[in-house]
Structures are given as C-alpha cells and as structure tokens.
Structure 1
Amino acid sequence: MSENQQKQPQFALKRVYLKDASLETPAAPGVFTKQWQPEVNLDINTRSSSLDPEHYEVVLSLTVTVKNEGEAAFLIEVQQAGIFLLAGLGEAETKHTLGAFCPNLLFPYAREAIDNLASKASFPALMLAPVNFDALYAQQQQKAAEAEKH
C-alpha cells in the first residue's frame, strides 16, 4: 500500500448489534384498562471506546419512559452498538464522527428495537422522531468548554 493510500480518510460500519435491551411494564395489567394518552420522555446518551488504533465501538443508549395518566406505563432501555473503522482523520474529526455521525447511523436500529419491544408488550407503535445528533454533540462540546473555564 502506498503512502498516499494510508493517509486517505477511511470510514466504515463493520457491525451493528443490540448490546442490551430491557422492558418494564410496572402498571400492567391495569394500564391496559385506561384511556391511552401517553406522555413520552426520551433520554439519550452515547459513548465510544477504542478497540484498536482504527476500530471503535460506539454505544447509543436510549431510555424511553412512557406515562399514562401520571403512572408509568412502560420503560424501555436499549443500547444499540456498532463497530466502526475510522482511519486517517484528525482528532477533532474523529471525535465528531464518534459523537455525532456514528450515533446518527445507529439511531434507526435503536428506534426499531424500541418499537418492537413496545409492540410485544401490546402497546401502540412507538416511532421516535429523528434526533439531531450534530446539535447534541455541539451542546455537549459547549458544556465541556464552559466546565473547563470554571
């Protein structure tokens, strides 16, 4: 391989997998006898770790809490993960790719897993709205910069 080929930026999604998933229906069966007016709360977290100099695991964690009439109807937690090849990127590009681009690729898989779990628990389909991971990453970077100042 020539020197030029080694320096070319490389990106590839090597594997997507469900790392962890859980479903709780604490109010069952009573929740099924009530009028369905859900209040949905979504918490999002991402983390990444280096597997070797060019491969990273990125884990997108989603926690969906659905309340009905103020009572917890169900709670779903999903950790959707992927192994990514990143080579030839600068430090800032690598951080942005791991913090925003990779979670964006994993989100549809996590959304499908959450919808499947909700359906299996006999709740209506739960299609989560798209998430702007670039904006979340920018907010996280801004908070980190402010924390360093104080």
Structure 2
Amino acid sequence: MTDVPPAETNPQPGQPPLPGFRILAQFVRDLSFENPKAPDSLRIEGKPQIDMGVELNAQGRPDGLFEVDIKLSIKASTESTAVFHVELLYGGLFQLTGIAEKDIEPLLLIECPRYLFPYAREIVARATADGGFYPPFMLDPIDFAGIYAARMQQQAQAAGTA
C-alpha cells in the first residue's frame, strides 16, 4: 500500500469534465452460423480459403449515448464446397465525456471497436467450435486505425472528384 492518494478523477466545480468514455453495454445484435455441408465439411483436407469482411458503424442516440457496431462476415470454402459462413453483428453502448467534437468520430470508429473486438472474436470462435470445427476459427487482430484511415482517404478522394 502507498500513502499517495488516487489521482483526481473529477475536475473542480466549473471545470469541464475530463475526457473519457464508458462501456455501458455490449450485445449480440445478430448472429448467423451456417454449416451447409455438415458433416462432410468437417472432414476436409487442408485449409479452406477464408473470405472476411469487416464493417463499422457508429451513431448517436437522443439520450446522448453512442451505439457502435462491428459486423463480421467470414466465409470458409474449398474449391469444391462451402465449409462455413458466420455473420456477427456485435454492438456496444458507449458514454463519452469531455471529448472534443473533432475526436468523437475516431474514438467511436477506432477505440470503441478495439474494446468490442475480443468479445466478438470469442463469439465467432465459439460458433465455429459448436459447429464441429476443431480447432475453432480464431480471427486475427484487426487494425481499426488502418480501416479508419482508409475510409477517410476514400472520402477525401470522393470529395476531390466531385
């Protein structure tokens, strides 16, 4: 134990709140798992081809909170057959305090998904394991900052050609 008091978390009266965010809830909005060729798909030779898509969405709510969704779509197939298809829409409810207007969008589309991702990853792994696949499919970490940067670049290019 130390005799040092904890850092001040609330500013003095009249000062703006310190920047931060809280995760109020996390939830599965939609989950679909298809194993169309079971049980034959469980005996494939080699590794299947994986096609993965990631979509991010964030929106404000009338109560001042923000909803952030990660949509993951994973299709595994071989040259001759579909192996499995998982679609997950995983969301979180966030409260932001003391965040500058210019920093809200990057926070919602980079940092919030970083907090949600490990839980979404576990759901996908569990769905594939429950579908009979061993080892279960484990998503590699996703570079949400890279996705955000690419999105901003696409928007800038679209605005430049318009």
Q: TM-score, normalised by structure 1?
A: 0.91
By percentage of residues, which structure has more strand? 1
User: Which residue in the other structure is 1:3 paired with?
Assistant: 14
- Higher CA-based Rg: 2
Aligned residues: 149
Counterpart in the other structure of 1:138: 149
- Can you list the C-alpha shifts for 1:109-132, whole angstroms capped at 9, x where unaligned? 110000000011101211111011
SS in 2 for 1:52: coil
| TM alignment of 1:36-55, pairs within 5 A | 36-52=46-62, 54-55=64-65
Separation in 2, partners of 1:128, 1:120: 16
Deviates more, 1:109-118 or 1:61-70: 61-70
The partner residue of 2:44 within 34, 48, 72 is 34
| Alpha-carbon distance in structure 1 between the residues aligned to 2:80 and 2:17 | 55
Partner residue of 2:92? 82
- In the TM superposition, structure 1's runs of 4+ consecutive aligned residues that sit over 4 Å from their partners are none
1:16-38 alpha-carbon deviations (Å, 9 max, x no partner): 11111000112223323432422
Q: Which runs of 5+ in 2 are unaligned?
A: 1-11
CA distance in 2, matches of 1:19, 1:52: 20
Runs (5+) with no aligned partner, structure 1: none
Counterpart secondary structure, 1:115: helix
Taking every aligned residue pair, what percent have the same amino acid on both sides? 28
- TM-score, normalising length from structure 2? 0.85
